[in-house]
């Protein structure tokens, strides 16, 4: 009788240990969630819809998945999804800012070339 219970206990704790990676445990990741929401907003404001649509869409969908994971109390899974969302938002912002800066640099370059042309014609 005792042996049987011991085996079960061992089996359950083994499973529990194995599950620590992906089993829901602890508190809902509130801070991470609000960060992820904010970063999606920031990405949109930086012009990600135009300049980084793929990264923005990934950020948004991972956020949505994280929200439903939280609803199902699968907090560990939610954390990973939120980390993915944040990384996508960061890329989206960087892409949008790079696109804008490069466009501005190109314009400035063109204006200097024009200036040089005009000066040489004098």
Partner 1 sequence: MNKILKWTSASVLILVMSGCATNRDPSDELSSLESQYNQLAAQGFVAEYAPVALKEAEETIAKAKKLEEKREDKSLISHQQYLAKLKLDTALEIAKQKRAEAAIGNAEVRRKDALLSAKEREANALRNRAETAEYNVTQLEATAREMSAKADALAKTLEDFSAKQSERGLVLTMGNILFELNKSDLKPGAERTLEKVAAFLAEYANRSVLVEGFTDGLGSADYNQTLSEKRAEAVVAELKRLGISSSRLSAKGYGEDYPVASNSTDAGRQQNRRVELIIANQDQTAVAPRQR
* Interface ranges with partner 1 (CB under 8 A): 8, 11-12, 15, 18-19, 21-23, 55, 69, 74, 77, 80-81, 83-84, 87-88, 90-91, 94-95, 97-98, 101-102, 104-105, 108-109, 111-112, 115-116, 119-120, 122
Q: Minimum Å distance from CB 11 to partner 1?
A: 7
Q: Minimum Å distance from CB 34 to partner 1?
A: 20
| CA 48/CA 99 separation, integer angstroms | 10
Whichever of 38 and 115 has its CB closer to partner 1, that residue is 115
| CA 120/CA 6 separation, integer angstroms | 92
Q: Look at phi and psi of residue 74 and say left if phi exceeds 0, alpha if psi is from -120 to 50, else beta.
A: beta
* CA 30 to each of CA 27, 37, 58, 75, 109: distance values in angstroms, whole numbers, following the listed order: 8, 11, 20, 10, 46
Q: Minimum Å distance from CB 6 to partner 1?
A: 13
């Amino acid at each position: 009788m005792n042996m049987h219970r011991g085996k079960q206990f061992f089996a359950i704790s083994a499973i529990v240990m194995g599950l620590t990676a992906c089993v829901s445990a602890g508190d809902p990741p509130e801070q991470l969630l609000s960060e992820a929401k904010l970063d999606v907003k920031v990405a949109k404001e930086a012009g990600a819809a135009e300049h980084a649509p793929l990264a923005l869409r990934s950020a948004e969908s991972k956020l949505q998945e994280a929200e439903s994971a939280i609803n199902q109390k699968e907090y560990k899974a939610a954390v990973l999804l939120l980390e993915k969302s944040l990384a996508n938002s960061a890329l989206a912002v960087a892409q949008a800012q790079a696109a804008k800066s490069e466009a501005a640099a190109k314009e400035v370059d063109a204006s200097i070339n024009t200036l040089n042309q005009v000066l040489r014609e004098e």
